[in-house]
Each structure stands twice: as C-alpha cells, then as structure tokens.
A and B are shown apart, each in its own frame.
Chain A
Amino acid sequence: MKIENTFIFSIRALSGYPARTLLVLLAMSMGVASVMLLTSLGEGARRYVNREFTSLGTHILFVLPGRSETTGGPPPLLGQTPRDLTLDDALSLAKNPSIGKVAPIVVGSAPVSWNEKDREVTILGTTAEMFEIRQLAMGQGRFLPVQDPSRGSGVAVIGYKIKKEIFQNRSALGEWIRIQDRRFQVIGVLAKKGQSLGLDMSDLVIIPVASAQSLFNTSSLFRIMLEAKNRNDVKAAKEAVLRTIKERHDGEDDITVITQDAILSTFDRILTALTLTVAGIAAISLAVAGILIMNVMLISVSQRKSEIGLLKAIGATGSQVLWAFLTEAAILSMTGAILGIFIAYSGVIVIIRLFPDFPVHIPLWSIAASVFTAQLTGILFGVLPARRAAGLDPVMALSRR
C-alpha cells in the first residue's frame, strides 16, 4: 500500500470516530501548549532579568567587604567584615586606568521628617558618580553636586514616592527636611522609575557619602559600585580592584568583587534551569496524552477487529496493518501538536495584552522539543496497539462471537 493511501485510510478511520479523535487531539494539544506556554513564561522571566541588568550597563562591578568563597554567587552576609572598606579605598580605585567612575555606598535607615510628618526611610550615602553608574534620571532639580567626597554637605535628593508622601503636590525643591537631627535641603527629586535590581529607588533619600557616614557614625562603606572603562576592561578592572585593595589592606584578600556579568549569568543559569524544569514537568502531560492515545487506539483496535480481519482476508499484510495504525497515531499526535502550537501562541498573545512589559517569548527549541516529544510519545504508545492489530488472527477477528 502506498504512503498516501495509508494516510487517506487512516484519516478516514479517524474521522469515522470523531468523539474519540477529538478527545485525543485535545489531550495532545493541551500537553504541547502547556510545555510551550510554561517555557515561554520561564524564558520571559529570563529575558526580563536580563533586560533589567543590561539597562544598568553590563560593565558594572560591586566591591563588598569580606571574602566570599563563591565568587559570582550571591553577596555574602553582612557583619562578618574582617576589615572595613573605607572612602579612601574607594577613591584609590578611581586612579586605575581600566576603571571609570566609582561610587562609594553607605546604606542605613533613619527617620525623615518635614512639617510634623515623620517616617523611617532608607538613606543612601553616595557621590555624584552614582547618577551615571546607575543610570538614574531626575524628575525635578538636580542630583548630588560633584564635590570632595570626604566633605559632607546638607543636600538631599529624594525618591519619587517619598516626595509624594511627604510633600504631596507641593514643590519639594529648596525645602529643608530633617534626617534624624540634621537638616538637609532638597535639591532634586528622582524620576518615577520602579524597582531597580530589587532596590526601590523611589523610596529612599540620597545624601553625600560623608554626611551619611557621620549620620550613622561609621567610617566604613557598605559597598563600592564602579564601572569598568568599557566592556572589555571588566576583567582587568576586577583584578585592579583586588590588587589595589590588597595593597591597602596589608596584603589581605579581604574583599569580594562581583561583576555584573557574573550576577547576570547566575540568574541566567537559574532561570534557564527553572524553564527546563517547568518544561519537563509539562512534558509529563505529553506522556499522559501518549498513554491516552494508546488506550484509545487499543479500544479502536478491539472495536475494529472485524475490519482488521477483513483487511487481512482481502490481502493486507501484517506490516500494512501495522503501518496503517502507526500512521493513525502519528496523524493524531501531529495534529495535536499543531493545535497545541496555535493554543500556545494564542495564550502568549493574551499574556502580552495583559502584561505588556513582560517579555514572554516562545523559544524555538521548545516548539521543536514539544512537537518532537508529542510525535515520539504518540508513535511509541501507538506501537503496542498497532502490533496488536497487525498480529490479529483474521479468522478469529471475522467470526462473530
């Protein structure tokens, strides 16, 4: 029997039992669609994180006090600092040719008040360099002025949310706020910009680093954020930081340098693993669909016993019968897979409508993998019924009992 005839015959057989065929198609297409949709969400998360990081520039480095064994891993816990990072450490780094801008960071929490209003707020002490490194944008006014970092001054830049809460619709520029017991004049309001790397930039007050140090009565830094001159300098910059600080710290390797790339690739690895896991779990539904195909086809074989017996009586060979049933399984799983692709893409369109910011994307490999798995399970689970059909004894099959 020629291929096209096997094909036509199988289609006739399938359309002869519409309810059963639809059931299997439904199971198969849902399986394929869930694999594709879940991977598209995972892939979307990966792209989202990627975009967030690269929006900061990819040549950023963080210097943390304390030595961490897992470089590239998450930052080590606070409080186990063998030797503090100081403002002078930070300033010494800027002299290196592979290093561009350097921003020291002090972080703490303090009550902020204005006109009887009082709130505990995250205080970020840094320098003018932070503006460019972190690619901030101003809503009103200006950022911290360029000045000697070791000298404090009574100016503050406030986040968008703080401005809304404390000043409501009034202008904040030029107003004096009180942080703990000191007075600071508001010189700028950050533009409305959401989360940035987990730190809510709209819910903090930025003051000069020396002011923050005296406010919190410390001479150390929380960390140093710096940028390499350009992408290719990241490695050199990292080495320069390690070398410079080691010199300054009496030969002790007591800092950790994390590059943006390392964080990015860690996230990337985690999210890719997550996507694959989720896809794998969804693939179980494909196996379920395969088992359903097997059952439906076993029923089909026993219902069509006399038909199979007849085909053999009029000269169909065992292998012709085998192929006819395998073709049936293949058509079922292929059609199911194609339907599944349609469902998945419709789902993605809906997600894009609902969350326009979230970069959902169906990776090509997931289409290929789910269609392949669908075919494989369909045919694999089709083999048993097909073999049963092929091995049917025509005399038994034709006799009515």
Chain B
Amino acid sequence: MNYSKEHTRYLKRLRGKKVTITLGRIAVVLVFFGLWEALTALGVLDSFITSSPSRMAVKLAELFSTGDLLYHMGVTLAETVLSFILATGAGMLIAIILWWFETARKILEPHLVILNALPKIALGPVIIIWVGAGTSAIIVMALLISLIITIINTLQGFLSVDEGKLRLFKTMKASKLQTLVKLVLPASIPNIISVLKVNVGLCWVGTIMGEYLVSKAGLGYLIIYGGTVFDLDIVMTATVVLCVLAAIMYYTVVVAEKLISKKFKFDV
C-alpha cells in the first residue's frame, strides 16, 4: 500500500511509542528483581526471610532436577484448567436456564447474590468432610469461588441485550430457542469473554486455596510446605512460578478473545 509521507511518519511514531512501552514493561521487571538482588546482597534485606533472585534460581534448578517442580506445576495446572472449564461450562448452562425461566430467575436472584457475598473459604472444613481431602475438594473450592460470579455476570449480559433487537426478533415471530441462539448468545460474546478473563484469575485463587486446605500436592502445597519449614526460597520460587503460569493462562484467553472478536466483528 502507498501512504503519504505524513502517514508514514505517523506510523513510525506510533511504532516508536509501542517499542518504548514494551521496553518499559520489561525494564520494570528487571529493576524489581535487580533491586531485590542488590538489597539482599548489600544486607539491607535479610535473604533468609525475603529470599533473593539468585537463591530462587538455585532453588528452581534444584526443584527442576528432582522433578518436583514439574510435578507440582502439573498438578496445579490440571486442577486450575479443570475447574476453569467446569465453572465456565456449568455457569453458562445455568445462566441460560435462568434466562429461559424468568420466574426461577426471580426466585433465585437474591440467593445467588448472598452466596456470592459469602467468603467461600469459610466452607473449607465442610468441603473436606463432604468430599474428602483430595483433588475433588480442591476443584469444589475453585468452583465455589468462580461459579456463582460466572452465573451472575453471564446472566446480566444475557439480560442486557438490546430491546430493539429483541423487538425485531418478535416481529419475525422467532421462537425462544431462535432468539437465544441467533441473538442472545452472539450478542453476549464480548461479555462472556470478560467473564472468562475474571474466571481465570478466580480459578487460580480457588485452586491455591484448595491446595492450602488439602496440602498434598501442587504449588499451593509447595508454598505451605516452604512456609512451615521456614524455607523462604521455596515459597518465593513457587510464587513466581505461579505468577508466570497465571500470566500465560490469562494471555491465552486474551489471544482467544482477539481471534473471536475478529470473527464476530466486535470492537474490543
């Protein structure tokens, strides 16, 4: 394509700005870890209680070579992905049912809101008694945390579909199923994606909380274990690994969002 000189200059400036921002973001991380390392090396911070990037690197290599790291990462990742899929699937299904049956929705609305306000961690002991101290307890914990809010947010999206478009479907004498499939669901895609984004975060919270409770395996277990034996290197290393995993999963959703909104012509 042929652009005018002005436009080429504009594009160049735009690209320059983008490079600055990306470099800046990387710099923030480098400065953070650099400062951490320097302060512990100078003795300002006590690396016994704060750990340090170099000690974390050693610990990471050690955990990796024994196979512990991959094992615990795998466990946590599997639990999180599973609860994410369950929470999203079940949440959407329930939201659709509540959209369909107005009276049921009106009956259940206040209960959902109250359940959502409850600090779910309070149910930890009950969960363990009911489903046992294993993977299922962790999944249940993650579901408790993410399911209700998924239902509430998805339903809200369904209910905010434009009145005029609903009217259009009525004039065409569309059935309820047609209205759902051809209007409500596609119109809710941007909302559903933002629900997914929130859900990724909540499922991590739920899984780690579950692992604290059950304490058998996973990064959450590793953190608790490290804390108990006062090995802050393990705690910090596991936390950083957790950060990286959560970031990867979040950006996977962001990429999916870009692809979907391109296909469906939504501006994000």
Q: Do A and B come from one complex?
A: no
Interface residues of B (CB under 8 A from A): none
Interface residues of A (CB under 8 A from B): none
